[in-house]
Amino acid sequence: MALATRARNAEAGRISAILPVGYTKRTVALIFEDLTDAGVLEELVVNQAANYKPLKVAPLRALLAPLPKQTPSWPERFALVAAILEIGQWLLLPVVALLFLQWPLRDIVQHYSREANDLGQWLFALYVAMAFTAATRAHTHLAADALARHYSAGARAWLWRLGVLIGLVPWALFVAIAGS
């Protein structure tokens, strides 16, 4: 909302003026860097602090127009997500138990081994989804551009071309030759 107000007035401001919006300061800073790279915002450094000023107000308004006028209560929602993820870490125990029990159920009881396997795999999928969410929230999730985001645009373009040359071209040739 603060960014939308600044977009209307075309004035500069710091990221801390926009928080809390339910995202960490680092996440908002990364979004602002992307908007700066796209030419929507201008970064102004004052007293070793980054301030951002809207350059292109129309695209920023179009981006922010669908947002609600009133900010929802994000801290309560994120606390609920954190509580669910805290409980979800214990899903691994029933997953291991169910996947281990499928062998005795199949060999000794001779019933319910498929059901134990299905439930174990379903719980494992839920556990993995929760683990990805928790890792992303803790900023420990792997990102493909963790290093490349700090490279210049020319270096990223050169790496892209190199990746196409080393990875895409040989594979495309293989598919074309194998398919003929």
Task: Categorize the per-residue pLDDT at 127 as very low, low, confident or very high, splitting at 50, 70 and 90.
Answer: very high
Place of tokens 């009881």: 109
Instruction: Report which of residues 96 and 50 the model is more confident about.
Output: 96
Instruction: Report which of residues 47 and 3 the model is more confident about.
Output: 47
Q: What is the mean pLDDT of residues 28-51?
A: 80
Task: Report CA-CA distances (Å) from 40 to 16, 24, 116, 121, 159.
Answer: 19, 21, 53, 45, 25
pTM score above 0.75: no
- Indicate if the pLDDT at residue 46 is higher than 60: yes
Reference 1, options 77, 98, 72; nearest CA is 72
CA atoms within 13 A on the CB side of 45: 2
Tens of pLDDT, residue by residue over 58-81, are 777 777 777 666 666 777 888 888
Q: What is the mean pLDDT of residues 93-122?
A: 86
DSSP 8-state assignment for residue 143: -
Exposure string over 123-140, b if 16+ CB within 10 A, otherwise e: bbeebeebbeebeeeeee
Angle of CA points 139, 142, 144, to nearest 5°: 120
Q: What is the mean pLDDT of residues 135-158?
A: 77
Tens of pLDDT, residue by residue over 3-27, are 545 444 555 566 566 555 556 677 7
Give the pLDDT confidence score for residue 30 in this predicted structure: 80
Instruction: Report which of residues 163 and 48 the model is more confident about.
Output: 163
